[in-house]
Chains A and B, each alone.
Chain A
Amino acid sequence: MNDTGDAATMQANEGLAEGRPEAFERVYRAELRAVMLTLVAGFHYRSAGASKYLRVDSASDAEEICQEAFAQFFAQCRRGRFDPSRPVRPYLRRITMNIALRKMGRLSREVPTELVDIGPAPEQDTVEQRERAALLSEFKGRLDDEEREVMSLYFEASGATQAEVGKKIGRSRDHVYRVAMRIRQQAKEFFAAKGWFDE
């Protein structure tokens, strides 16, 4: 074991080197959000001495890169290239950044001499974000009280399950599911009317 490894990391990474499916499944579920966030929130890198920034705007591109990053990581685990005494996240992040740069055409143009992860991009208050917030506020104003409550507890409070929301508002999980579905349908109609879905 090298000096940065520890027993907890080794335990968390158990089965990766052997290519055990349950180990891949565990890492996939644990790291999925972090990999996606690297892509859609963006990351800095250095190329020819300059600091640059890449964000993958297309959700479908990000999902493809994410899947490819995991596929490559699992392949490297099986080939013994990943040291299981080291944490997965930085290694996987590096793979993700490399694939994103290649897929988005940056490598062919810029050939980064130094691919250094210097963290995510700072929060950006863009015109688009402000416009989005204004539209969302207008949309919420059209919901009834129960829909607004579900909107707040289920959509905006990340991680709450429908059953948990149901318990809070004294309704069944099925009922929350139906309200959530109704909110999505109304949101689709509202934002479509604002030109979000070009035909």
Chain B
Amino acid sequence: MNDHEARALIDRQFEQGVLPPDDALRLREHLASSPDARAYYDAHVRLERTLEGDDVPDAQLARLEALGPPAPADALDDSAPKRRAPYALGGIGAVLAVAASVAIVALIDDGEVRTRGGPASGAKAWINVFAASGDAVRPLTDGATVAKDSGLLFSYSALRDAPFRYFAIAARDESGRVYWFHPAFVEDVSPKSLALDVGVADRELTERVFVDWSPGRARICAIFTREALMIAEVDARLERDGRWPDGAQLDCHDVKVTP
């Protein structure tokens, strides 16, 4: 990492809260060796102190908590950089995760993958959406209704030659409110889109996701991209002007949420 990259990460961290664990760790290691990056970081913490009126602002504490406790000093190899324990994101799973089993029939034909309903012509990756209520699971076709308190389940398929490596799944309702299904978007954590496996048919995402829907029409979209997206950035633009990320392949499903 160079100072330019470090500054970009510090900017992002300041605006969005805690960085993803790998970025946070890389930044820590760079700060340890760069006085310029440290000065830039210090200026941001000074601003956080000013905004919160506290010598130890919550934003700084959240970053330190995310690093986790260091290894005991006698367990460290003094010749190696002192790496901090990675941040465990277990809380997200604990909130959302109820593993569900979804039976999906996939047809494999000449090395290509198709699913019920089928993807848009020429699509290299797509999702299937299911509404789950109790033990009952049903696929959501375009225009289907879904009860407000239903959980949603997803699976994705990606052809072997799909050029995408990342995906995320979100919805925007007719009032402009945005909902995130994958990855989870939780308090002060700014996730990136998720790694995508290619050459898979109906890969189940095993979390049954509940969101606080507003009744009315909504569009659920999978966003397939070559590079990982910062979800907070996508979220802000999506809510502001309804724009999905440029250069992404979208697979969208319109639904009607009932009370």
**Chain A positions near chain B (C-beta within 8 angstroms):** 19, 21, 24-25, 27-29, 32-33, 36-37, 40-41, 58-61, 63-64, 66-68, 70-72, 74-75, 77-79, 132, 135-136, 151, 155-156, 158-159, 161-163, 172-175, 177-178, 181, 183-185, 187-188, 191, 196-198
Contacts and interface: CB of A to CB of B under 8 A. Distances in A.
A61 B178 CA distance: 39
B55 A155 contact: no
A29 B58 CA distance: 13
Interface in B35-81: 38-43, 45-47, 50-56, 58, 60-61, 64-65, 67-76
- Interface pairs A-B: 3 shortest CB-CB: A59-B45, A28-B69, A74-B72
Contacts of B235: 174, 178
Interface residues of B, number: 51
A159 B52 CA distance: 10
Contacts of B40: 197
Contact of A181 (B56, B64, B236): B236
B74 A40 contact: no
Contact of A36 (B52, B56, B69, B82): B56
B16 interface: yes
Contacts of B46: 59, 196
B185 interface: yes
B161 interface: no
Interface of B: 11, 14-16, 31-32, 38-43, 45-47, 50-56, 58, 60-61, 64-65, 67-76, 82, 84, 177-180, 185, 187-188, 212, 232, 235-236, 239
Contacts of A159: 58
B178 A32 contact: no
A74 B69 contact: yes
Given A19-B72, A41-B55, A59-B46, A172 B212 contact: yes
